[in-house]
Amino acid sequence: LFNDVPVAAKDPILGITEAFLADQNPEKMNLGVGAYRDDDCKPVVLNVVREAESRVAGSNFMEYLPMGGMKAFTDLSVQLAFGEDAKPIQEGRVAAVQSLSGTGSCRLMADFMHRFLPESRIWIPKPTWANHHNIWRDAQVQQEQYRYYKAETRGLDQEGLLEDLSKGKAGDVVLLHACAHNPTGVDPTPEQWKEISKLMKDKQLFPFFDMAYQGFASGDCTRDAQAIRVFLEDGHLMGCSQSYAKNMGLYGQRIGCFSIIAETPEEAKAVESQMKNIARPMYSNPPLHGALLVKEILGNSDLKEQWYEEVKGMAERIISMRTLLRQNLEDLNSTMPWNHVTEQIGMFCFSGISPEQVDSLAKDHSIYMTRNGRISMAGVTSKNVSRLAEALHKVTSG
């Protein structure tokens, strides 16, 4: 029966962990998957999460959540994304459901498009998180790509981006990374966001923000949502995917929120009912534990403050590793420019090294990263940064 089933290709991100685990070198480094580590390279459970856990413990509530998840959780989430006093929230125009983190939100959006916007295409930045392509492919939505990254400058290709998006037709959806673009670490400036927003408004393109790193880029949740605020000011309707994997360290809890700002409260009600309808045959209703924790943290000002401090601490540790990595490379008299290491933002450094150089880092130095040269800065520590710099210097010289 299964004779003709071929073995699937390895996932370009999660497949790296398999190779890392098989390596016997005690000094091996996993800079593949974007998962935060402390300076001893250990996974972190935030203190605020431990506190929330102790507060929700013993609640004895193990019932199913509704199809759309926990309402108190989605209310708090959309406030975090759009701002507490956002007009669409006050006017009751936000449809929102609890989702299975970023992937789950994107998948709900993709299936929603397939069902209700069959003529619309999804515009995806080039490059993007590899899973975006899988998600919209499996939902059978036509994909287009827009230029985003300019290899020569290791910065944003704003001209190419605007030129490509101007080819969009009314009703097309544009996937935008709200902050800390994955994999490049290159974000538009507020002025560039304004230009993008204006063009999309003129062309009637629908923005869909994937916000997997709110707070994680700059250490400030409001600042990291500035792109969304620009689009709100311009009166866009929009969609948003939020994930609490990185910013609360709730990776395995699969907790996020999928929201759509509609034109009227009636429209929002209909859209939300259809989001639930899409979720029901996929997984019925989302898991409980993560929603309890996030609701506890966002719903209590003492915990929320503590969370702000802790997410800032994570962002700052990554920023300081960027400085150290660049310094180490420059001290080695590397002939390559490494200014982008400190100019990029978020969890990843898009190093600019070739797939072959990535392969030799793995083979000769037991340092693992995705083949597009993306380094997860979250796995870099004050103890391993010099080894990383030396290896990078070796594979890029000569």
Catalytic sites, residue numbers? 129, 210, 246
Give the separation between CA 175 and CA 123, rounded to whole angstroms. 6
CB of 29 to ligand LMR, least distance (A): 15
CB of 388 to ligand LMR, least distance (A): 17
Q: Map residues 169-208 to x or -, x wherever contact with ligand LMR holds by CB under 6 A.
A: -------------x--------------------------
Using an 8 Å Cβ cutoff, are 123 and 144 in contact? Answer: yes
Quick check: bond before 125 cis, omega within 30?
Answer: no
CB of 147 to ligand LMR, least distance (A): 21
When the beta carbons of 197 and 243 are compared against ligand LMR, the nearer one is 243
When the beta carbons of 135 and 341 are compared against ligand LMR, the nearer one is 135
Give the separation between CA 329 and CA 342, rounded to whole angstroms. 12
CB of 232 to ligand LMR, least distance (A): 25
Burial (CB count <10 Å: 0-12, 13-18, 19+), residue 55: middle
Helix (H) or strand (E) holding 131: helix 130-138
Using an 8 Å Cβ cutoff, are 171 and 204 in contact? Answer: yes
When the beta carbons of 262 and 349 are compared against ligand LMR, the nearer one is 349
| 181 closest CA partner among 372, 396, 337 | 372
Instruction: State which of residues 29, 30, 31, 33 lies at the interface with ligand LMR (CB under 6 A).
Output: 33
| 51 closest CA partner among 304, 317, 316, 251 | 304
When the beta carbons of 121 and 177 are compared against ligand LMR, the nearer one is 177
When the beta carbons of 11 and 195 are compared against ligand LMR, the nearer one is 11
Amino acid at 286: P
Q: Do strands 94-99 and 367-368 pair parallel, antiparallel, or not at all (unpaired)?
A: unpaired
When the beta carbons of 347 and 392 are compared against ligand LMR, the nearer one is 347
| 275 closest CA partner among 397, 122, 126, 100 | 100
Instruction: State which of residues 20, 31, 34, 230 lies at the interface with ligand LMR (CB under 6 A).
Output: 34
With binding defined as CB under 6 A, does residue 244 bind ligand LMR? no
Q: Segment 44-63, which members bind ligand LMR (CB under 6 A)?
A: none
Tokens of 17: 């962990």
DSSP three-state, residue 155: strand
# residues near ligand LMR by CB under 6 A: 6
CB of 251 to ligand LMR, least distance (A): 8
Q: Segment 265-304, which members bind ligand LMR (CB under 6 A)?
A: none
CB of 348 to ligand LMR, least distance (A): 8
Give the separation between CA 220 and CA 78, rounded to whole angstroms. 16
Report the residue number whose CB is nearest to ligand LMR: 34
Using an 8 Å Cβ cutoff, are 15 and 369 in contact? Answer: no
With binding defined as CB under 6 A, does residue 13 bind ligand LMR? yes
With binding defined as CB under 6 A, does residue 129 bind ligand LMR? yes
DSSP letter at 378 equals G
When the beta carbons of 17 and 386 are compared against ligand LMR, the nearer one is 17
Tokens of 59: 């609640």
Work out the number of other CB atoms within 10 angstroms of the CB of residue 83.
16
Give the separation between CA 366 and CA 192, rounded to whole angstroms. 39
CB of 47 to ligand LMR, least distance (A): 23
Using an 8 Å Cβ cutoff, are 243 and 106 in contact? Answer: no
**Site residues for ligand LMR per CB under 6 A:** 13, 33-34, 129, 131, 182
